Structure 1
Amino acid sequence: MTRIVAAGLGCRRDCPGAEIAALVRLALDEAGLAPGDLAGLFAPAFKQGEAGLTAAAVLLGVPLVLMPETAMKEAEPRAVTRSERVVALTGLGSVAETAALAGAGPRSRLLRARIASAHATCALAVSE
Structure 2
Amino acid sequence: MKVAGLGFKRNVTLASLREALLAAGGPEGLAAVATVSDKADAEVLKQLARECGVPIKAVSADVLAGVDTPTQSSRVVEKFGTGSVAEAAALAAAGPRARLIATRVVSQDRTATAAIAEGDGA
Amino acid at match of 2:59: M
Stretches of structure 1 lacking an aligned partner (at least 5 in a row)? 30-34
User: If each structure's helix is expressed as a fraction of its own residues, which one has the higher value?
Assistant: 1
- In the TM superposition, residue 72 of structure 1 has moved relative to its aligned partner by 1.8
- In the TM superposition, residue 73 of structure 1 has moved relative to its aligned partner by 2.8
Instruction: Specify which of 41, 46, 68 is matched with residue 49 of structure 1.
Output: 41
More moved, 88-97 vs 113-122: 88-97
Amino acid at match of 1:7: A
Q: CA RMSD in A?
A: 1.6
Instruction: Specify which of 57, 64, 70 is matched with residue 56 of structure 2.
Output: 64
Structure 1 residue matching 2:38: 3-state secondary structure: helix
Conserved in 2, the CA contact under 8 Å of 1:9 and 1:120?
Answer: yes
* Separation (CA, whole Å) in 2 of partners of 1:106 and 1:72: 13
Structure 2 residue matching 1:41: 3-state secondary structure: strand
Structure 2 residue matching 1:40: 3-state secondary structure: strand
Identity of aligned residues (%): 36
Q: How many residues are aligned here? A: 118
Off by >4 Å, runs of 4+ in structure 1: none
TM-score, scaled to structure 1? 0.83
